[in-house]
Amino acid sequence: MKLAVILLVAQLVLNTAAEQAYEVSNEQLESFEGESETLVFFDNLKTIGRERAINGSFSFAGDMDNDDFKVSVELYSSPQGDGDFKRMVFDVPQTSICECFKKFYVQFVQPSVNDGETTNFPLVDDNTCPIPQGEFYIKNVQFKTEDWPEQVPRGVVKAIITFFTGDKNVGGLIVLVKIEDRQS
């Protein structure tokens, strides 16, 4: 009996440590084309089902090396979820592509897809570069937030992820997620 109680308490403590105080759900995905050419394609990604899981495929037209490719992430928040977006202070300016994947893909996306079945995109680690050419699938992904920051704004957050080569936009992706207090 005592042991059962201890195990239960231990489990509660562990769960609390791993769980954020908020829940994230996908709202919308939208791809956009580049200025004069498009080298990254997200138009086959969709949200499916009641859970709006992310499903489909994306592709990169060629290998993208750290010297020639950059990525920026602009973040906007709509606290009421009414489409009135304000730019957030936290943004990622144009950053060399491999650095960007190592920092942000690894923190925000990879934990949700690293079970070996959800995507065939290679695991990103410190040695990953260039970002490889290819078409990659994503199966039914909902974001796992254990590595996300503790402090995130509630409401709808919009991330505009833009890929560049030279100073030219070569396409990207707009992701909207809804962030709510976790219901206990």
Please answer whether residues 17 and 165 qualify as being in contact, where contact means their C-beta atoms are separated by less than 8 angstroms: no
Q: How far is the CB of 58 from ligand NAG (least distance, A)?
A: 10
Residue nearer to ligand NAG on the CB measure, 37 or 51: 51
Q: How far is the CB of 45 from ligand NAG (least distance, A)?
A: 9
Whose CA is closest to 71, among 173, 177, 175, 158? 173
Instruction: Dump the DSSP string for 63-119.
Output: -B-TTTEEEEEEEEEETTSSS--EE-S--EEEEEHHHHIIIIIIIIIHHHHTTSSSB
Interacting residue ranges for ligand NAG, rule: CB under 6 A: 48, 55-57, 137
Q: How far is the CB of 119 from ligand NAG (least distance, A)?
A: 9
